[in-house]
Structure 1
Amino acid sequence: MITIENVSKQVENKWLLNDVSFKVDEGACIGLIGPNGAGKSTLMKLLSGLEEPTSGTVKVLGKEAGKWSVKKLAQKVSVLTQDGLSPYPMTVYDAVLMGRYPHLSFFQREGTEDYKRVENVLSMTGLDSFRNQMLDTLSGGERQRVAIAKAMVQEPEVLLLDEPTSYLDIGYQVNVLNLVKEWQNRDQLTVLMVLHDLNLAAQYCDQLVLMNNGEVIKQGTSEEIIEADTLQTVYQTKPEIIRHPKSNIPQILL
């Protein structure tokens, strides 16, 4: 589904990525973790076709990301950043409906099926009561939920999330990630998400890819990655590892 092979990225005289390789299988949720400056966001830009690697290949659905047309890539891949939707003076309904644009031909207007998909997604995401509210009147957490609804209406096969829970309180963090997890399980969606919160990454991701200084340090399950010595090497601080009382997955105390 996603294949990253020997990818390096240089900007001026600085190497942001150095020989990065890993795969994301169809229907999996992979968490990309690591300290600031590790290269996570740079990698997401390559996957979304915004930039080209200096060397190596980045493939999405078997085709190099940079060789997709913008519209065709938008039919297959949806990208959600930490900023979500900007607070434009438009209704929630119209913002969500924008997710159908990649599937419309030039001058084509939305039809019955498009409106039906929007209605279904508004219901699934609990946004029915917000449909006529303006984006610029919503909180950051509410706009992030609208951004996910817009992505769902887009019907992608791959979802890229770059720190989607930044600036959100714990209630909205869980709400956003629950929506993504339910969507992944229901439609076999392939998800790659950048997360700074290692506890959330361990809870919501099938596997983790730990990066540092532009390189992949380790890839594996939360059991293999959320380990005191490994994290101390990368983050320069030694955490205490405990077990989640319900799921028994490793969690971090500082």
Structure 2
Amino acid sequence: MLDIQNVSKSVDGKPIVQDIQLSIQKGKCIGLIGPNGAGKSTVVKLISALEKPSAGQIQFMGKDVQDWSVKKLAQHIAVLTQEGLAPYPITVYDAILMGRYPHLGFFQRESKRDYEIVEEVLKITDLTEFRDQLLDTLSGGERQRVAIAKAMVQQPELLLLDEPTTYLDIGHQLNILKLVQDWQKRDGLTVVMVLHDLNLAAQFCDELVLMDHGRVVRVGTSEDIIAKEMLESVYHANPEIIRHPKTNIPQILL
């Protein structure tokens, strides 16, 4: 579905990402991890065509992302940043309905089907009771849930998440990631997410991409990446690796 071919990005002569090569299959959840400044967010911006690579090519569904129109790409790719939705004084319902805009023609009004999709997503995301509430009255975790709902009604094949849980407490972190995981399994969604929390990344991602200084250090499962020597070499910390008592997935203690 997504092929990143020898992609590099420099700004004012400074390399941000260097010679990135990745192939992402449909229906997988890929976690981009690594220290600050590793280039993870830049990779997300390049995939979404928000930025253009200095070298290399990113192909989505067999076509360079730079060759897609903004509207056509938005019909297939949804992007959610760590800030989520700004706290504007608009209703939750109207904010979610905005996700249908890429599917509307010029001057075209929403159809009955568009409204039906919003109603379905309100139920899935447990936001029905918030439908008439204003965004600027919601907590950060609630607004992030609205942002996920807006992405859902967009009906993308690929969801890009850039640190979606950074400002959230552990309850809201789990709620957001479980919501994405259920969506992934239900609709065969492909997910690429940047996460700083390695324990959450190990639990929710099918595959991890460890980055450092703009390069991919290693790609593999949590068993391959959440290893003492591997993390020491990149994070310059000395973590203890334990097993999750229920899933047996490797987790770290500092």
Matched length: 254
- Conserved? CA contact 1:51–1:66, under 8 Å: no
Counterpart secondary structure, 2:75: helix
Aligned to 1:228: 228
Aligned to 2:20: 20
Aligned to 1:9: 9
Counterpart secondary structure, 1:159: strand
Deviations 1:45-96 (A, max 9, x none): 1111111101011112211111110000000000000000000110000000
Structure 1: distance between partners of 2:128 and 2:83: 22
In structure 2, give the amino acid aligned to 1:237: A
Aligned to 1:162: 162
Residue 85 (structure 1) aligned with residue 48 (structure 2): no
Note the C-alpha offset of 1:134. Answer: 0.0
Structure 1: distance between partners of 2:25 and 2:109: 35
Percent sequence identity is: 66
Alignment of 1:1-254 (within 5 A): 1-254=1-254
Runs of 4+ in 1 over 3 A off after TM superposition: none
Measured on the aligned residues, the alpha-carbon RMSD in Å equals 0.5
Deviations 1:171-204 (A, max 9, x none): 0000000000000000000000000000000000
Structure 1: distance between partners of 2:174 and 2:106: 38
- Conserved? CA contact 1:199–1:251, under 8 Å: yes
Counterpart secondary structure, 2:36: coil
Counterpart secondary structure, 2:50: coil
Q: TM-score, normalised by structure 2?
A: 0.99
Structure 1: distance between partners of 2:157 and 2:69: 16
Structure 1: distance between partners of 2:2 and 2:79: 14
Counterpart secondary structure, 1:97: helix
Note the C-alpha offset of 1:221. Answer: 0.2
Structure 2: distance between partners of 1:53 and 1:153: 29
Structure 2: distance between partners of 1:185 and 1:62: 23
Q: TM-score, normalised by structure 1?
A: 0.99
Note the C-alpha offset of 1:253. Answer: 0.2
Counterpart secondary structure, 2:42: helix
